[in-house]
Structure formats: structure tokens, C-alpha cells
Amino acid sequence: MAAAAGRARRGGRLGAAALALLALLALLALPALRAGHGDGERQEGSAPPPRPLPPGLREELRQRRRDLRRLAAGGGEAAAGALGCGELRLASGVSVLGWGFTKVVARAALAGGGAVALKAVHGAGPEVLQCVRRYGAPAGCRRLAAYKLLKELALLRRLRHPGVVQLHGQCYESSGDAEIRVTAMLELGSPLDMIQLLQTPWEERFKICLSLVKLLFYLAHSPLGSIALLDFQPRQFVMVDGNLKVTDMDDASTEELSCKGDSDCTLDFPTKSFPLKCSVAGKCEGMNEKKNLFNAYRYFFTYLLPHSAPLALRPLLSDILNATGDLRYGINETLAAFEKVLHLYQSGLYLQKRPLLLKDYISLKGFRTVEGEDYKCWPSYSHLGCLLSVHSAEEAAAICNSQSQCQSFTVTQQRTWTGRPLALFQSSLTDLIPDPNAVLYIKQSP
């Protein structure tokens, strides 16, 4: 609860508590609505007839509906065993996780024990408020926002990928003409914290960039064609078990921009623009892929890739940054370049020829030390001491040599996501315990 409140506060605005409460009410209002007039039309005479919508809003609604029909026509049935209104009704422990321009997201516990993220239209969010200011039609504006969420759901149903947040189900209810209530039930994640990410080991930051590249590769060749994420910012992604996943898909475009000539196909960013070609079919070919890739470069790669990377990999990473920053690479080449870096890293080929240092250590087979409080190093995998990812005992010896406090180390059985072992570096040799799988290396006094 406290953590959720903390995240909500980080959402940034003043009056966050009030907004969060409003949003929560919007979610909780669901069962009440259901209890009242469940399904079917509003009773004749029980409410005033709806006022006609302003033409501008009617046109926007028409466009959104058409967009939706096109997406839904391609299929994408709810999977067997998907959650529905029944499960939503039995969910408990609802607490707001965050909100954006259009939607509010809450965490909830299912009756079966699992936890999910619930997504609904934020009735007091910027999108609905802006629309109401413009058209003065709250019900129509909420419907417009509901269409956006429905579009997101249609996309999530058809795009299945480890880099796309998983849709567990939905509850859709429409009462009469005015109100549509949609609640999506999604895999629960945690917001992306860029500040915290900057403090994690390079290997973990590389993993996030690689999963993003794999996602963009999938989107470029998706069953719906090449898809661009129009609102591409870290806050549209969440982390699930250390993996990056996109959650906000209502702003995705499944079509390339139409054009008459090349001049219609300039890809504009605040710092740079790229002239692209207009194809004979009248589309800005490749624009969606390039838009995603440049956004990945400016919001993710520049922050996460270079900083404290292994020395020998830095030229390759610079190449990736340069080539994506100038859009010389497409997504295929970018993925290939990332996989090359991964291969070099996993195989230890990046280790430069160095004097062999392990021979200066006494090895004590069948022993390890107790992992207690000891000296700290950066970027340690443990807050208690110095626990680092290494390729081999030889690399660990080089690290131990470079740290004055280090007197001994063990290569542990723990592995990082790339399969590399973690080595524990220590300054004292107090508690030795027998461990048939371990080898303790002790620095010899010079």
C-alpha cells in the first residue's frame, strides 16, 4: 500500500491524493453500476433523452469506431480461461498504481490469490477533461476515451510477445447509449524508474535495451504490419520480473503515413529531422520502424548503454549509438549488433589479453566464506558486500587485484541473466565453511 502510494505521489502532481481517490472511485463505481441497471437499455422516461453531441465530437467518435472495427475485424478472440466481469467483481485490495493522460491503473488481488493490474478510463484525467473543455459533453468524452482503451485491448489481444504486457482479460459493460465501462485486467508490473536503473550494473541495463530492441523488431514485423508507438516514453513501459514490457498501446499506429511526395515524409524530432521517401503506393515506407528506433535511442540507449560498459565493448556500443542516432541502422541491423555484443559478453571474448593473475592466489577447494557484511563496491548485486558478475575466476582475480580491500573471493553458484557467475569479494577471512562445490581464492601477501 505504502509503495503504491509512493508511486502515485511520484506521478508528480499536487493534489495527487484527491486525484487518486477520484480514480479509485471510478474503478469502484463498477460494481455499483452493475447492481443498478445491469445490462440492457435505460428505461424509457427514467432519464432525460441524451442531448445531441457536438459535430466535432461526433466525428472523432466516428473515426475511433472505424479504427476499432478495422482492428477487431482481424480476429483476436479472448483466450480460453481469460478473466472477465465475474473475476473483477470478486477482486479486492484495490490500490491505485498510477495514471497517465487517459487511463488510471490500480493493483488488485484476485479471489484465487494472484494479483493483476486493472486499467480503466480516468474520468477526471487530462484527456477527458480536455475533451469536456472543448465539447462540453462529459458522457461523449468518456466514451471517446473508452474507445481508446478498447483499441488498446484489441491490439494487446493480437500482439503476443514477451515485450508486450500480457492481457489476462477484460470486463466490458455498456448501459444504454451513453456509458461504456471497460476494465482491462493485465499482468502486474512496476513503473520504470530510470534513476534507479542508472545505478544498476551495466549487464542489467543492457538487458533492458536488448528487450526493447527485440520488441521493436517484433513490432516492425508484426501480424498487423509495422507498428509505431506514437507516445514513446519510459512511463509507457513497466518492468515484470526484470523484463521490460510496453503497457500503453492506445497511441500505437498500425499504418504508415500516407503521402503525395517525399516532402510529406519528414520524420521530425525536437533535435533532428530525417527526410524519408514516399513509396509508389503513397506511404512513407519504414517511417514507423524508424520513429520507434530513434525514440529508443533518445529515451533509452543514450542513458542506459554506454555508462560503465566493459572497456572492450565500448567501441561496439558507440557504433550502435551512432548508427541508431543517425538512423543508419534499421531494426534488423540493430538487433544483429545487440546480439553480437551479447555473444562477445557471454563468451568472454571481450576480455582483453591480460597478464594471468590467478596464479598469485592460493586456492582452497571445498570451502567458502559466509556472506556477511563486508566492504561495498559498485555496482554490487548485494547491498551487504561486493558481489559482481564475472566471466571466470581469472577475471575475478583481476578485479580483486584492483581493489585494495579485497583479500579473497569465491565464484558463487548464482548466475546473472546472461549465465555468468557472481563472485563475492571479501576483505577478511573470518568464517570458513565447508562447501564441496566452492573454491576460495586467497590473495597472497606480496
Residue 383: beta bridge partners? Answer: none
* From ligand ADP, ligand NAG, Mg ion, none, interface partner of 421 (C-beta below 5 to 8 A by class): none
One-letter-per-residue 3-state SS of 369-418? ECCCCCCCCCCCCCCCCEEEECCCHHHHHHHHHHCCCCCEEEEEEEECCC
Q: Which is nearer to Mg ion, 144 or 317 (CB)?
A: 144
Closest-approach residue to ligand NAG (CB): 325
Return the residues of window 212-251 that contact ligand ADP according to CB under 6 A.
235-236, 238, 247-248, 250
Q: Which residues of 351-381 are buried (b: 16+ CB within 10 A; e: fewer)?
A: beeeeebbeebeebeebbbeeeebbebebbb
> Residue 124 burial (CB < 10 Å; 0-12/13-18/19+)?
middle
In the complex, which residues of this chain contact Mg ion (CB under 5 A)? 100, 236, 248
161 lies in the binding site for ligand ADP (CB under 6 A): no
Cell of 306: 554506454
In the complex, which residues of this chain contact ligand NAG (CB under 6 A)? 221, 322, 325-326, 330, 332
Closest distance to ligand ADP from the beta carbon of 192 (Å): 8
Closest distance to ligand ADP from the beta carbon of 7 (Å): 7
* From ligand NAG, Mg ion, ligand ADP, none, interface partner of 183 (C-beta below 5 to 8 A by class): none
Residue 432: beta bridge partners? Answer: 369
8 A C-beta contact, residue 398 and residue 332 = no
Closest distance to ligand NAG from the beta carbon of 214 (Å): 12
Q: Which is nearer to ligand NAG, 223 or 348 (CB)?
A: 223
The DSSP code for 282 is S
What is the residue whose three cell numbers read 541495463? 205
Return the residues of window 65-104 that contact ligand ADP according to CB under 6 A.
97-103
* From Mg ion, ligand NAG, ligand ADP, none, interface partner of 395 (C-beta below 5 to 8 A by class): none
Closest distance to Mg ion from the beta carbon of 87 (Å): 24
Return the residues of window 246-275 that contact ligand ADP according to CB under 6 A.
247-248, 250
CA proximity to 7, closest of 95, 116, 117, 134: 95
Residues forming the site for ligand ADP (CB under 6 A): 97-103, 105, 117, 165, 186-189, 191, 235-236, 238, 247-248, 250
As annotated, the active-site residues are 231
